[in-house]
């Protein structure tokens, strides 16, 4: 890749950026020749912005750049060759060459400008890479056909002034005979391209005025690609029975492409980080920096300054520190996830979410505006200066609740599945039985015991709806009765007579789905006071449960000398609504400082 010697000057301030002028060539095999010149962004000539996949450790080839021979990745060289006109210069912006990638300071200045660069481009050109002509042409035909059907469907609905009802293409039927094996395979190849999983492509395509897709030798309008992805996604994820066509379409990876067409794709820092957590980046720091131009809160962008001199650990810690300092809240801690054997790392902070890992477990209590509980009451974080809230440690005030003395097995995708083998016990059933054996609450009747367990296993929510609304006692009773039905059903499945289980009613099915989602990669635990809760898979006996000011759930910490590791969120039914903070006010509990590293 190009170093400083091929650039005339560094760009470290202002609105200047570079554009790449690709020299014409009639011979497609001729070596690419191009020159890079600085321009002011607000007075630059019309240009196109390239969007493509860099690739990790990809093979390289030589091009002539600013009069010098340099090596670039094959993907970039192919894109430049494909974009090259036979008789005229083509002006484009390509990040790998228009930013000096070996200059961390220049990158830190130019990367925040990329939102403006892509939104001000005449057109964004997506390069998906080389492809066999048959497959690329077949994909173009299929995309044109499906896209036209979607546009016609939208037009008809608008003419009939039908209500929106959040419906897209669930009701749009396209005859199955239009989908030949070759057509389906071509769509699978198209949407299987790595570009649809790349973090940078999100802002590059979402900020574009207009976009086209270059796929091998063909050119496809981005709008048609997006409509096709949306129709496939709706056809395979919507309600109703799935036919043979749906099964075939389900093998096409359309979800990311559909997501890129979402009009509400922007949001707060945490929203966009969560929204695109499954996208990939060669540089893990770009999991944060590559999304900043989609953040709607200006103060979050200004606070989280791009700095490529920082390590991955520092950048990820910054996301937590920014939210704490701006809002005096511990919201970001909801995304912390550790492996089962976690016992701390040298560089990564235990309280910093690792954004290059897809979040495998449910986030509790987010969004906060809809959260049904607040363990800290109305208490916000006290002390926001560097000595309290810094990279080296978090010094947070809160209230100690109790010490963990026993943990159950981690609930995972395997053991949460409905029992299929006689004698195989579901973790919900074993939890009920084990708690009955240790007589956790001898002064509480069995019915209330099971109700608390129902709230714990679902975090008191079913399909994001709180189950404890004080004015709806009937809904609460329905919830508890359906939870008992679920336990009975799971017991029957493992009894050796699964035919006796029958069919779950709709409410019990919703509880089952919500509980499985909440409990995945979490475990039940018991404390010294014989209370219990649901916590992270990495917790063990000796860990402690606390409420921290600024957090809407309890948390599990691990004592390490005079400091603590942060392990994750917990649900503990009797302290979800500020009870510990009230006890501090009443003088029956003491406030403490927890230094977390």
CA-closest candidate to residue 148, choices 205, 231, 211: 231
Q: Which of 125, 153, 180 is the last residue of a domain?
A: 125
**Same domain? 116 vs 144:** no
**Same domain? 402 vs 543:** yes
In a domain, 252, yes or no: yes
CA distance 81 to 33: 9
**Same domain? 368 vs 512:** no
Please tell me the predicted confidence (pLDDT) of residue 346. Answer: 79
User: Residue 466 in 3-state DSSP?
Assistant: strand
**Same domain? 84 vs 206:** no
Q: Six-digit token pair at 324?
A: 């704490």
In a domain, 529, yes or no: no
Please tell me the predicted confidence (pLDDT) of residue 438. Answer: 57
Please tell me the predicted confidence (pLDDT) of residue 58. Answer: 65
**Same domain? 586 vs 483:** no
Residue 279 contacts residue 197 (beta carbons within 8 Å): yes
**Same domain? 387 vs 318:** yes
In a domain, 527, yes or no: no
- Residue that is written with structure tokens 């207009």 in the block: 210
**How do residues 193-222 score in pLDDT, each as one tens digit?**
999 999 999 999 999 999 999 999 999 999
CA distance 296 to 264: 11
**Same domain? 241 vs 358:** no
**Same domain? 275 vs 398:** yes
**Same domain? 400 vs 419:** no
CA-closest candidate to residue 512, choices 503, 524, 500, 521: 503
In a domain, 528, yes or no: no
Q: Which of 488, 520, 552 is the last residue of a domain?
A: 520
In DSSP notation, 216-255 reads: TTEEEEHHHHHHHHHHHHHHHHSSS---HHHHHHTTS--H
**Same domain? 152 vs 224:** yes
Using a cut of 0.85, tell me whether the model's pTM lies above it: yes
**Same domain? 231 vs 376:** no
Residue 287 contacts residue 281 (beta carbons within 8 Å): yes
In a domain, 530, yes or no: no
Please tell me the predicted confidence (pLDDT) of residue 167. Answer: 75
Please tell me the predicted confidence (pLDDT) of residue 3. Answer: 47
Residues 6+ apart with CB under 8 A from 434: 408
Please tell me the predicted confidence (pLDDT) of residue 439. Answer: 52
* Number of structural domains in the chain: 4
In a domain, 531, yes or no: no
Please tell me the predicted confidence (pLDDT) of residue 449. Answer: 83
CA distance 452 to 128: 53
Q: Six-digit token pair at 536?
A: 């992270």
CA-closest candidate to residue 203, choices 51, 55, 98: 51
**How do residues 496-507 score in pLDDT, each as one tens digit?**
777 777 888 899
How does pLDDT run along the chain (597 residues), one tens digit per residue? 444 467 889 999 999 999 999 999 999 889 999 999 999 999 999 999 999 998 666 678 999 999 999 999 999 999 999 999 999 999 999 999 999 999 999 999 999 999 999 999 999 999 999 999 999 999 999 999 999 999 999 999 888 877 766 678 988 999 999 999 999 999 999 999 999 999 999 999 999 999 999 999 999 999 999 999 999 999 998 666 678 899 999 999 999 999 999 878 899 999 999 999 989 999 999 999 999 999 999 999 999 999 999 999 999 999 999 999 999 999 999 999 999 999 998 789 999 999 988 778 999 999 888 899 999 999 999 887 877 888 888 999 999 999 999 999 999 988 998 876 777 889 999 998 887 765 544 455 567 888 999 999 999 998 778 876 656 788 889 999 999 999 989 888 877 777 777 888 899 999 999 999 999 999 999 999 999 999 999 999 999 999 999 999 999 999 999 999 999 999 999 999 999 999 999 999 999 999 999
Distance set, CA 578 to CA 380, 456, 472, 526 (Å): 12, 17, 22, 20
Q: Six-digit token pair at 595?
A: 């230094």
Q: Six-digit token pair at 327?
A: 């809002």
In a domain, 324, yes or no: yes
**Same domain? 93 vs 79:** yes
Please tell me the predicted confidence (pLDDT) of residue 241. Answer: 63
In a domain, 526, yes or no: no
Range of the domain at 416: 411-520
Alpha helices, H only, 130-221 = 133-159, 181-191, 199-206
- Residue that is written with structure tokens 């501090």 in the block: 584
CA-closest candidate to residue 529, choices 406, 399, 398: 406
Q: Which of 94, 125, 156 is the last residue of a domain?
A: 125
Residue 563 contacts residue 548 (beta carbons within 8 Å): no
């Amino acid at each position: 890749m190009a170093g400083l010697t091929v650039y005339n000057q560094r760009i470290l301030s202002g609105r200047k950026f570079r554009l790449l002028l690709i020299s014409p060539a009639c011979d497609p095999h001729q070596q690419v020749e191009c020159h890079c010149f600085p321009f002011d962004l607000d007075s630059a000539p019309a240009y196109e912005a390239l969007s493509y996949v860099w690739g990790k450790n990809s093979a390289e080839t030589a091009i002539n750049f600013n009069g010098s021979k340099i090596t670039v990745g094959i993907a970039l060289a192919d894109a430049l060759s494909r974009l090259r006109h036979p008789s005229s210069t083509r002006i484009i912006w390509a990040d790998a060459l228009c930013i000096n990638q070996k200059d961390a300071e220049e990158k830190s200045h130019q990367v925040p400008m990329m939102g403006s660069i892509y939104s001000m481009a005449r057109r964004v050109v997506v390069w998906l890479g080389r492809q066999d002509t048959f497959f690329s042409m077949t994909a173009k035909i299929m995309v044109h056909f499906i896209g036209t059907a979607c546009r016609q469907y939208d037009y008809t609905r608008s003419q009939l002034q039908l209500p929106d009802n959040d419906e897209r293409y669930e009701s749009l039927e396209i005859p199955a005979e239009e989908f030949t094996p070759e057509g389906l395979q071509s769509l699978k190849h198209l949407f299987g391209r790595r570009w649809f999983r790349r973090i940078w492509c999100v802002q590059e395509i979402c900020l574009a005025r207009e976009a086209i897709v270059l796929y091998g030798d063909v050119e496809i309008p981005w709008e048609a690609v997006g409509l096709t992805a949306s129709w496939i996604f709706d056809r395979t994820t919507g309600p109703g029975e799935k036919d043979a066509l749906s099964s075939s379409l389900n093998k096409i990876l359309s979800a990311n492409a559909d997501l890129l067409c979402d009009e509400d794709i922007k949001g707060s820092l945490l929203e966009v980080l969560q929204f695109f957590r499954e996208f990939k980046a060669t540089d893990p720091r770009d999991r944060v920096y590559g999304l900043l131009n989609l953040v709607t809160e200006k103060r979050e962008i200004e606070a989280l300054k791009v700095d490529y001199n920082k390590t991955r650990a520092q950048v990820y810690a910054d996301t937590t520190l920014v939210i704490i300092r701006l809002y005096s809240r511990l919201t970001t801690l909801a995304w912390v996830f550790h492996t089962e054997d976690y016992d701390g790392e040298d560089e990564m902070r235990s309280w910093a979410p690792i954004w290059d890992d897809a979040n495998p477990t449910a986030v509790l209590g987010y969004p906060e505006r809809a959260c049904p509980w607040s363990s800290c009451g109305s208490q916000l974080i006290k002390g926001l200066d560097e000595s309290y809230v810094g990279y080296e440690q978090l010094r947070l005030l809160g209230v100690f609740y109790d010490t963990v003395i026993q943990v159950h097995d981690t609930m995972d995708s395997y053991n949460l599945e409905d029992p299929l083998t006689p004698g195989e016990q579901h973790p919900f059933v074993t939890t009920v039985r084990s708690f009955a054996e240790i007589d956790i609450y001898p002064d509480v009747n069995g019915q209330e015991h099971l109700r608390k367990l129902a709230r714990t296993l679902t975090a008191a929510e079913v399909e994001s709806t709180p189950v404890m609304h004080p004015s709806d006692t009937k809904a609460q009773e329905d919830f508890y009765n359906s939870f008992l039905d679920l336990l009975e059903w799971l017991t029957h499945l493992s009894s050796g007579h699964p035919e006796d289980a029958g069919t779950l009613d709709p409410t019990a099915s919703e509880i089952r789905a919500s509980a499985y989602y909440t409990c995945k990669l979490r475990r039940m635990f018991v404390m010294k006071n014989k209370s219990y809760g649901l916590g992270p898979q990495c917790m063990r006996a000796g860990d402690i449960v606390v409420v921290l000011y600024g957090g809407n759930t309890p948390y599990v910490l691990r004592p390490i000398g005079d400091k603590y590791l942060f392990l994750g969120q917990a649900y503990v039914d009797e302290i979800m609504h500020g009870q510990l903070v009230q006890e501090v006010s009443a003088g029956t509990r003491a406030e403490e400082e927890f230094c977390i590293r």
